[in-house]
Each structure stands twice: as structure tokens, then as C-alpha cells.
């Protein structure tokens, strides 16, 4: 039987980061993946396909140019499902190629097949040809991810009533679509199809959506969606979904309303893919959504030597955080030092328009009783916004009145998912409102919105009080250019020596 230092089950973001990290530490690593190609949900049905589809939809529809040329502007009049798929296949091929190359370079072994436990340190891998192989390891990492929740009452047929995996296979773009579930997946796809001129209705039993996002941003988002005729039926429950003889689908809601539509996308959450792992043989158990419980610092399960990371452990279920969890789990598993990641990570929702956030929302500031001030900038106030023809877009910064530190950054609009990292850096490096007021930003950029929002808050917060945290000006001489740069430091910090 082949023996390894680390067996990783699943080659999604958590699994691949873990495998490469352990291999870089000179450990013998095996990745078991049941899929035809490596990459996981992230590459084949989740992050990368949905973002590629979004990019294609925005490009072909001319969405980004409509601020100049009007709402009726189109780059391609008739956009087909084939148009969307073509770019998707090229992107996915590149992703898989890079990943396979990474595995090969780092001598990570890869076995294709379905893994299940025989004991706490031994797994059986069932290959496609029916052969069963046994493998053993000092540590095992479960990075098996999730699959769409598919309740029995939903008449899925893979064509007109579909889940988010099947969406990537559709043959024809629907003229109308009902999206059940206003979570991240539902909202991203609903807004992408709306940008393609599909008439979209979103239904969710909850009265609010995307509750982890700052309310002011959601209000702006909701306004924009309604403004382009998307129907948001929140706080309403779907009672029945039926196929009609003419190929359409009827959706009955608890209010008595009936919607006839071309397609229904069911996006009401996901289930941990743990049912075929024979968890009992390792002394493990999952919750009712198939998820595993771990120690949040080490990612070890209740069974020593067995770790879990990525979507299978639940919130936040992002490719970005899954990668970090996988890396930390692998380091712990092989006995290397592993530092906990910073508490605040960015969240990007690739809807149309984009939303991105990091840190505390205004609602959380109130709940925690932290006195605060907000600074707001609209993209239309920036010169880059004028150049790009942006009517919408907003950046909101939240500062503590006591420490003047940035505690939250919330963005809606073009490039939000990229722009958020400036705020993330300032926030995690414990920067204050002064950072935005005193630093120069490239011009013309959307990042200039940080300066505008910083000044907006600063004008209301007033000058930094003299005394405990007053500003001193120090001279830093740049030895390379022989120029002298004036900068400010707070007296709380030790003055760095002038070079
Ligand atoms: C539509 C959609 C859009 C998304 N968009 C984003 C986004 O924009 N940004 C973001 O950060 N996140 C996004 N996500 C979330 C992101 O895809 C996940 O967080 C990420 O894929 C989780 O990674 P993972 O490593 O936990 O597992 P996964 O990527 O789910 O991979 C798990 C792998 O394990 C394999 N596996 C399972 N069981 C076994 C077994 N018994 N034996 C062998 N192999 C097995 C599976 O075949 C799969 O390949 C999106 C998800 C979806 C569905
Ligand atoms: N951009 C991103 O980072 C991104 C994109 C897509 C997905 N994801 C991740 O994937 C995960 C799964 O996303 P999701 O949207 O499937 O789940 P979700 O849990 O975010 O949302 C599910 C939604 O469906 C509703 N719902 C639940 N049961 C229902 C039912 N029976 N009928 C109708 N509606 C119901 C819920 O009220 C909720 O609004 C998320 O946790 C997210 O982190 C991330």
C-alpha cells in the first residue's frame, strides 16, 4: 500500500493550496480527485465559470458603455449560449493547465477516483474502471467542497428547471427566468442574465437579502436592480414549480401569484459533499447540511490527524478563504508554524453591479456601540468615473471616532472587488482616516474615491486632537532619488530613523 505524509481529498482551492504547501515543505503528498479534471467546483462549476460568464456578458452586451451610448446600446445584437460557452471553455482549459503544471512542478501526486475512509489513516480510492486502491497517510485533509442543494420537491430536468451547475450547459438563453434564492449565487446569476436582457424575477422567503453587506449598499443595489426592471419578490415563498406542456415553467408563490417563465434557476444553498466519504469508519460525523466541524485555528476535526478546510466546513465558503484554510491546515498537519489569518477578509459579490466589503458594517458598529463617522464618495465625483461614463458606484468608509481607525470599507460599482484591497490593507494595518487625507492617490483613478470618502469623514471628525495622538512632521530622505519627502507619524508610534 502506498504511504504518504499527507493525503488531500479534493483539488479545489483548499485542496490544491494545501497540497502545494505540504510539497514545498518536502512532504510526500497525494491529491485524490473524483472529477475528470483537477480544479474543483471553483474551476469547473463555481467561481471561474460564473466570473467568465459575467465578463463575456458585460463585453458582448456593451454594458460598460451604456453610460455614454444609452440603455439600448449593444455590442452584439443576438447573444447566444454558444457565445458564452466559447470563452468559458478557453478559460477553464487555462486554469486546469496551470494547476496540473503546479502539481507536476511540486511533485504532488494525483490519483483520479472517489475516496472513502477505511480507518482513521487509510482510504480506499474507487477508480472509474472499477479498480479500488488503498492509500495510507500520517494526516488526511478533507477538502471535498459542496454541491447544489437539490430538494425532491423541485422538478429539475437540467433544461428549464436547473441548478447553478446545470446553468453552464444551457443550450439557449432564456427570455425570462425565475431565480429561487437571493443568496450570492442567485443574485450573481440573476443580475448577469438581466444584463443580457433576460426578464428576471428573484424569489426568496427571507424579507431581506445579502444581510452581511452594509444596508446602505444594499439599498443602492436594490434601487439599481429595480430601475432596470428586475423583480425582487422578497419575503415570499415558492409553493409549486410545474412544467407546462408548451415547455415553459409555472411558479406559484404563497401570495397566490403565478409566474410563467422560460427557466427556473434553483439557488437555495449548497450541501457538503461528505456523504460518500464513509465518515463513520474514521469516527467522524457531519451536520444536516453535510458539513464538518473543525477547530477554527488548526482546521483539525475531532479526530486527530484528520483535517477539513474549504466549503465543507461552512462559512464563509469562498475560494479565497478556502485557499488560506487549506494552506494553514497543511502547515499544521506537517508540524510547521501556522499563523492565523487577519480577522477581516474581503468579500466580493460579482453581481452586476459588483459589491465588495471588508470589516464592519454600519449596522455592526451600532450593535457594538462603537461611536463612528462615515465618509462617502460617489464614482461620478471622480474624473475616472466621468471618463468611464459611470452614473453609479459608491464607496463608503467607516471610522471609529475614538481611535480614528478605519473599521469598514464597503463598495458598490465598477471594480469594487479590486478597489476593496486598498481599504483592506489600511484596515488590517490599523490605519486611520489620516491615511486617506494625507496620501496622494493616482489621478484619474476610481481609487481617488478613497481620498474623497476619507476627506468627507475627516471634515466631520475634525482635526486630530493635540496630545495623545498628535501629528508630527518628520523628514524622510529618499537616498535613491535624493528627494526629501514630508510625512506624518503619530507620537504613539516610535519615530523611524531618517535614512
Ligand atoms: C456559482 C458559484 C460562484 C462562486 N463564486 C465565487 C467567487 O466569485 N469568489 C469566491 O471566492 N468564491 C466563489 N464561490 C465559492 C467557491 O467556488 C468555493 O468557495 C470553493 O470552490 C471551495 O473550494 P473547496 O476547496 O472547498 O472545494 P471545491 O472547489 O468545492 O472542490 C472540491 C473537490 O473535491 C472533490 N471531491 C469531493 N468528494 C470527493 C471524494 N469523495 N473523492 C475525491 N474527490 C472528491 C470534488 O470533485 C471537487 O473537485 C462560488 C461558488 C459557486 C457555486
Ligand atoms: N462572489 C462570491 O464570493 C460567491 C459567489 C457565489 C457563491 N459563493 C458562495 O457559495 C455559497 C453558496 O451560495 P448560495 O447563494 O447557494 O447560498 P446562500 O446560503 O448564500 O443563499 C441561499 C439563499 O436561498 C434562500 N433559501 C434557502 N432555502 C430556500 C428554499 N427552500 N427556497 C427558496 N429559497 C431558499 C435563503 O434565504 C438564501 O437567501 C455562499 O456561502 C457563498 O459564500 C460566493
**Residue range 38-96, pLDDT digits in tens:** 999 999 999 999 999 999 999 998 888 887 888 788 888 888 899 888 889 999 999 99
Q: Measured from the CB, is residue 308 less than 6 Å from ligand 2?
A: no
What is the rounded average pLDDT of the residues 190-216? Answer: 97
Q: Which pLDDT value is given to residue 178? A: 98
pLDDT digits (tens, 9 = 90+) for 338-394: 988 888 999 999 999 999 999 999 999 999 999 999 999 999 999 999 999 999 999
Q: Hey, do 2-148+271-333 and 161-268 end up sharing a CATH topology, with the first three levels equal?
A: yes
Ligand 2 pocket test target in 41, 52, 183 with most atoms within 8 Å of CB: 183
Q: Is the pLDDT of residue 499 over 80?
A: no
Residue with CA nearest ligand 2 atom 27: 268
Cα-to-centroid distance, 317 and ligand 1 (Å): 8
Cα-to-centroid distance, 243 and ligand 2 (Å): 24
- Hey, is 313 helix, strand or coil? helix
Starting from the CA of residue 316, give the closest ligand.
2
Q: Is the pLDDT of residue 123 over 50?
A: yes
- The CATH topology of domain 347-491 is Enolase-like; domain 1 (3.30.390)
Q: Which pLDDT value is given to residue 46? A: 93
- The CATH topology of domain 161-268 is FAD/NAD(P)-binding domain (3.50.50)
Q: Give the rounded distance of the alpha carbon of 397 from its chain centre.
A: 20
Mean predicted lDDT score pLDDT of the chain: 92
Q: Is the pLDDT of residue 470 over 80?
A: no
Cα-to-centroid distance, 316 and ligand 1 (Å): 12
Q: Measured from the CB, is residue 117 less than 6 Å from ligand 2?
A: no
Residue with cell 465598477: 414
pLDDT digits (tens, 9 = 90+) for 207-266: 999 999 999 999 999 999 999 999 999 999 999 999 999 999 999 999 999 999 999 999
Cα-to-centroid distance, 47 and ligand 1 (Å): 8
Report the C-alpha gap between 15 and 325 in whole angstroms.
Answer: 9
Atom of ligand 1 nearest to the CA of 16: 25
Residue with CA nearest ligand 2 atom 12: 269
Report the C-alpha gap between 266 and 182 in whole angstroms.
Answer: 10
Q: Measured from the CB, is residue 144 less than 6 Å from ligand 1?
A: yes
218-233 burial: b if 16+ Cβ within 10 Å, else e: bebbbebbeeeebebb
- List the CATH code of the domain at 2-148+271-333: 3.50.50.60
Q: Which pLDDT value is given to residue 497? A: 33
Q: How many Cα neighbours within 13 Å face the side chain of 221?
A: 31
Task: Report the largest interatomic distance among the alpha carbons of the chain, rounded to a whole angstrom.
Answer: 79
Q: Which is higher by pLDDT, 263 or 480?
A: 263
Q: What residue ranges do the domains of the chain occupy? A: 2-148+271-333, 161-268, 347-491
- E strands present in 128-255: 132-142, 146-148, 161-162, 176-180, 199-204, 231-234, 238-243, 249-253
Residue with cell 409549486: 240
pLDDT digits (tens, 9 = 90+) for 403-422: 999 999 999 999 999 999 99
Q: Which pLDDT value is given to residue 467? A: 61
Q: The pTM is what? A: 0.92
Contacts for 362 with CB less than 8 Å, ≥ 6 apart: 214, 215, 216, 372, 374, 396, 398, 408
Q: Which pLDDT value is given to residue 63? A: 87
Q: Give the rounded distance of the alpha carbon of 59 from its chain centre.
A: 21
Contacts for 259 with CB less than 8 Å, ≥ 6 apart: 178, 201, 250, 251, 253
Q: Is the pLDDT of residue 495 over 70?
A: no
All cell numbers assigned to 494: 516610535
Flag whether 185 is marked binding.
yes
pLDDT digits (tens, 9 = 90+) for 422-461: 999 999 999 999 999 999 999 999 999 999 999 999 999 9
Contacts for 17 with CB less than 8 Å, ≥ 6 apart: 322, 323, 324, 326, 327, 330
CB atoms within 10 A of CB 442: 9
Length of the chain: 499
All cell numbers assigned to 380: 461620478
pLDDT digits (tens, 9 = 90+) for 25-40: 999 999 999 999 999 9
Confidence of residue 464 (pLDDT cuts 50, 70, 90): confident
Residue 114 phi, psi dihedral angles, 5° rounding = -95, 125
Amino acid at each position: 500500500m502506498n504511504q504518504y505524509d499527507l493525503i488531500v481529498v479534493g483539488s479545489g482551492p483548499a485542496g490544491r493550496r494545501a497540497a502545494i504547501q505540504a510539497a514545498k515543505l518536502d512532504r510526500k503528498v497525494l491529491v485524490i480527485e473524483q472529477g475528470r479534471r483537477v480544479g474543483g467546483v471553483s474551476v469547473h462549476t463555481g467561481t471561474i465559470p460564473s466570473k467568465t460568464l459575467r465578463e463575456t456578458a458585460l463585453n458582448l452586451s456593451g454594458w460598460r458603455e451604456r453610460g455614454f451610448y444609452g440603455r439600448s446600446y449593444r455590442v452584439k445584437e443576438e447573444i447566444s449560449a454558444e457565445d458564452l460557452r466559447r470563452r468559458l471553455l478557453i478559460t477553464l482549459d487555462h486554469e486546469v493547465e496551470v494547476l496540473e503544471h503546479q502539481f507536476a512542478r511540486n511533485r504532488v501526486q494525483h490519483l483520479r477516483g472517489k475516496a472513502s475512509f477505511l480507518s482513521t489513516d487509510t482510504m480506499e480510492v474507487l477508480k472509474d474502471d472499477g479498480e479500488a486502491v488503498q492509500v495510507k497517510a500520517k494526516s488526511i485533509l478533507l477538502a471535498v467542497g459542496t454541491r447544489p442543494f437539490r430538494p425532491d420537491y423541485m422538478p429539475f430536468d437540467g433544461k428549464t428547471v436547473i441548478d447553478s451547475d446545470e446553468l453552464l450547459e444551457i443550450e439557449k438563453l432564456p427570455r425570462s427566468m425565475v431565480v429561487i434564492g437571493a443568496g450570492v449565487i442567485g443574485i450573481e446569476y440573476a443580475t448577469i442574465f438581466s444584463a443580457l436582457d433576460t426578464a428576471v424575477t428573484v424569489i426568496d422567503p427571507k424579507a431581506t437579502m445579502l444581510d452581511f453587506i452594509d444596508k446602505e449598499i444594499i439599498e443602492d443595489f436594490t434601487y439599481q436592480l429595480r430601475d432596470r426592471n428586475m423583480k425582487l419578490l422578497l419575503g415570499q415563498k415558492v409553493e409549486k414549480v410545474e412544467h407546462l406542456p408548451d415547455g415553459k415553467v409555472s411558479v406559484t408563490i404563497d401570495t397566490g401569484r403565478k409566474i410563467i417563465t422560460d427557466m427556473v434557476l434553483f439557488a437555495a444553498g449548497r450541501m457538503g459533499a461528505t456523504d460518500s466519504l464513509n465518515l463513520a469508519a474514521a469516527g467522524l460525523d457531519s451536520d444536516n447540511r453535510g458539513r464538518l466541524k473543525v477547530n477554527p485555528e488548526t482546521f483539525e476535526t475531532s479526530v486527530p490527524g484528520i483535517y477539513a478546510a474549504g466549503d465543507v466546513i461552512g462559512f464563509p465558503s469562498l475560494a479565497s478563504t478556502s485557499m488560506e484554510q487549506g494552506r494553514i491546515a497543511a502547515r499544521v498537519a506537517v508540524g510547521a508554524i501556522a499563523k492565523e489569518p487577519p480577522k477581516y477578509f474581503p468579500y466580493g459579490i460579482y453581481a452586476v453591479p459588483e459589491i465588495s466589503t471588508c470589516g464592519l458594517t454600519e449596522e455592526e458598529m451600532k450593535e457594538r456601540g462603537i461611536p463612528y463617522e462615515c465618509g462617502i464618495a460617489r464614482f461620478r465625483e471622480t474624473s475616472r468615473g466621468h471618463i468611464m461614463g459611470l452614473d453609479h458606484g459608491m464607496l463608503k468608509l467607516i471610522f471609529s471616532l475614538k481611535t480614528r481607525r478605519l473599521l469598514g470599507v464597503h463598495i458598490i460599482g465598477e471594480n469594487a472587488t479590486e478597489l476593496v484591497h486598498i481599504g483592506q490593507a489600511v484596515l488590517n494595518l490599523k490605519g486611520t482616516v489620516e491615511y486617506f487625507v494625507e496620501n496622494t492617490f493616482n489621478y484619474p483613478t476610481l481609487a481617488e474615491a478613497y481620498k474623497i470618502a476619507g476627506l468627507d469623514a475627516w471634515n466631520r471628525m475634525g482635526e486630530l486632537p493635540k496630545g495623545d495622538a498628535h501629528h508630527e512632521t518628520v523628514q524622510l530622505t529618499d537616498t535613491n532619488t535624493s528627494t526629501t519627502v514630508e510625512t506624518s507619524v503619530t507620537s504613539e508610534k516610535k519615530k523611524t530613523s531618517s535614512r
